């Protein structure tokens, strides 16, 4: 398998770094080579946040990417800023709850995921990131669903155990 170079981007507070970290953990559990590189804007909540995750069967020489194979854009500014970083033949996941003008590139596969609306229908708009993570994992198969669910169970344990059931529903919400 060629390396999957995934760029996840949105506003600070949308859980972008969290889902990138979770994706990286699941890839490690799948015995893949993986890098995770977070980036924050000037302020954490409300500023920009993005991270890159590289998943490969071969060793990864550098965690920095110049071209992504996949972009997750949780808001319009993220799509506008990063869509040109996606290589031809790549994939973009757009959170159409906040992305009103999708990409016009014809050399990409796009997936419109109404992550915000699905999360609201589940009772908590903060779960939009988990809805998007489910869409990404189920559509692209970067990591096994089984190990992704184990990561969700670990992430939402202890003090956060009361959040597990709803987040599992959110993860499975995208068909």
Query: What are the tens digits of pLDDT across the range 25-52?
Result: 999 999 999 999 998 766 555 677 999 9
**In the chain, domain spans:** 4-171
Q: What kind of fold does domain 4-171 have according to CATH? A: Pyruvate-ferredoxin Oxidoreductase; domain 3 (3.40.920)
Q: How many CB atoms lie within 10 A of CB 148?
A: 24
pTM, full prediction: 0.93
Terminal Cα distance for the chain, rounded: 25
pLDDT confidence of 80, banded at 50, 70, 90?
Answer: very high
């Amino acid at each position: 398998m060629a390396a999957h170079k995934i760029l996840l981007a949105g506003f600070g507070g949308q859980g972008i770094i969290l889902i990138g970290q979770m994706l990286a953990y699941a890839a490690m559990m799948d015995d893949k080579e993986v890098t995770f590189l977070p980036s924050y804007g000037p302020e954490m909540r409300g500023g920009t946040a993005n991270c890159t995750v590289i998943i490969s069967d071969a060793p990864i020489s550098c965690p920095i990417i110049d071209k992504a194979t996949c972009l997750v854009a949780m808001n319009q500014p993220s799509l506008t800023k990063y869509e040109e970083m996606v290589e031809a033949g790549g994939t973009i996941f757009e959170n159409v709850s906040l992305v009103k003008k999708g990409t016009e590139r014809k050399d990409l596969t796009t997936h419109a995921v109404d992550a915000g609306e699905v999360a609201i229908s589940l009772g908590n708009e903060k779960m939009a990131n988990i809805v998007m993570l489910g869409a990404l994992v189920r559509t692209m198969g970067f990591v096994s669903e089984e190990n992704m669910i184990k990561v969700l169970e670990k992430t939402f344990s202890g003090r956060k155990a009361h959040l597990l059931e709803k987040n599992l529903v959110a993860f499975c919400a995208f068909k």
